Amino acid sequence: MNDKKISLIRCGYYHPSNANWSYHIWLVIDKTGARFYRESFGGDYQMIEKQKTNGIEVEKLQAGIGTDTEYKWSAVKQMPDLESYELNW
């Protein structure tokens, strides 16, 4: 994989039962490997802009066709926020 390119793949969501918003689940693939992240309220756009200013290209993709996978809170609470993404995690 190119050192200056990141793949950002939307994989699913988690919707809290007592909220009118949801987390989106993203898989980030870069030169160091792949990792899941959670995001809400436009964090993907913030991450993309941050990477662009660092000269890194971000390819934004969707995983599959149809309904997104619904994740459980036990998995989502362990995921870091997408806004906190750094290339060398």
Give the domain extent around 43: 5-84
- As to burial, measured by CB atoms within 10 angstroms (0-12 exposed, 13-18 middle, 19+ buried), residue 55 is exposed
In DSSP notation, 3-47 reads TTEEEEEEEEEE--TT-S--EEEEEEEETTEEEEEEE-SSHHHHH
Q: Is 52 inside any structural domain?
A: yes
Tokens at 87, concatenated: 């290339």
Tell me whether residue 89 is in a domain.
Answer: no
pTM of the shown model: 0.85
Mean pLDDT of 20-25: 90
Q: What is the domain count for the chain?
A: 1
Cα–Cα separations (whole angstroms), residue 11 to 5, 27, 52, 64, 81: 19, 7, 22, 8, 15
| Domain-embedded: residue 49 | yes
pLDDT digits (tens, 9 = 90+) for 26-69: 999 998 899 999 998 888 999 999 999 989 999 998 877 777 78
